[in-house]
Amino acid sequence: MISAQDPPLNFWASRAPRQPPVCARPCWHTGPVRIDVALVPGEAAPARADVLVVVDQIRASTTLTVLLDLGCSDVLLTGTVIAARRLAATTGALLAGEHRARKPHGFDFDNSPSELSLADVRGRPVVLCTTNGTAILERVRTGAHVLVGALRNARACAVAADGLARGGQRGIQVVCAGRNRRFVAEDAVAAGVIVARIVEILGARGEAAELSDAAAAAVRLREGFPDLLTAMRESDGGATLRRIGQPEDIAFCAEEDASATVPVLRAGPPMRVVRLSP
């Protein structure tokens, strides 16, 4: 376990509070804020965290953020094409998403955030069908607060997670969606960015964070790449996007803090995400 007050992490050493710590939490909360990362979805523990941040960096988290930025009324989530078609037929929603990374027959849109960013979806509900992103959201839907995070909304997500976790005892877990339940670097790098942001926010208030080894490793992984575009290019998701002929999504997904929108899960049914109110 690495404490954020220990010096080895560069991001922390350079951003340590200069004044004596002031506890902005309710006085009965004395300890540092626990931050964990589930590097694979099997490690997600919704009952053991006050706030979960689900990261499917390439591409579901980025797509969800874009859809809400465009003014969708809400986004309904399903993991199967058949359920997506049924839901769209009963709700009049547009259909977006992928099956095996490709646009299913009859869908209005792909799961491509760069393509969707040009779409006119304002005021419309959208059914989004994805594989790994939906599966992990299903798995953690019992969590008290489940946010959707990506590089695109990293700062906004960190601010929201910090706010929702205040006064709690269990802390924050950032959950990587992975691919077919396995580790992928793009999710871990984005998780590392979000963790570093939360630590920064706490540090600015003079509060401490306690990072699990997995959270510290995610931060280290991000530090191991010269920049986020390189990290996305060299990741499993980046290779998939090149293979399916959508390399433009790599740069789009690598954009950091382009959005102030924080999608929050509503367990349903049907499961949906809406924009977290400020």
Q: How far is the CB of 75 from ligand MLT (least distance, A)?
A: 13
CA–CA separation, 57 and 7 (whole Å): 29
Q: Are 116 and 71 contacting, i.e. CB atoms less than 8 angstroms apart?
A: no
If the CB atoms of residues 101 and 274 are measured against ligand MLT, the closer one turns out to be 101
In terms of CB distance, is 34 or 233 closer to ligand MLT?
233
3-class secondary-structure state, position 78: strand
Return d(Cα 127, Cα 88) in angstroms, integer.
6
Whichever of 98 and 200 has its CB closer to ligand MLT, that residue is 98
Distance CA 125, CA 138 (A): 19
Q: Which is nearer to ligand MLT, 78 or 261 (CB)?
A: 78
30 contacts 210 by C-beta, under 8 angstroms: no
Closest contact distance (angstroms) between CB of 74 and ligand MLT is 18
Cβ at position 130, least distance to ligand MLT in Å:
3
C-alpha to C-alpha distance for 211 and 165, rounded to whole angstroms: 15
Indicate the DSSP class of residue 21: P
Is the CB of 78 or the CB of 130 nearer to ligand MLT? 130
Pairing mode of beta strands 51-55, 172-176: parallel
Question: Contact positions toward ligand MLT, by CB under 6 A?
Answer: 56, 58-60, 98, 101, 111, 130-133
CB of 131 to ligand MLT, least distance (A): 3
Q: How far is the CB of 82 from ligand MLT (least distance, A)?
A: 17
Instruction: Report residue 273 as tokens.
Output: 């995400």
C-beta neighbour count of 248 within 10 angstroms: 13
Of 96 and 164, nearer to ligand MLT (C-beta) is 96
Minimum CB separation of residue 72 from ligand MLT in Å reads 17
Query: Quick check: 235 and 58 in contact, CB under 8 A?
Result: yes
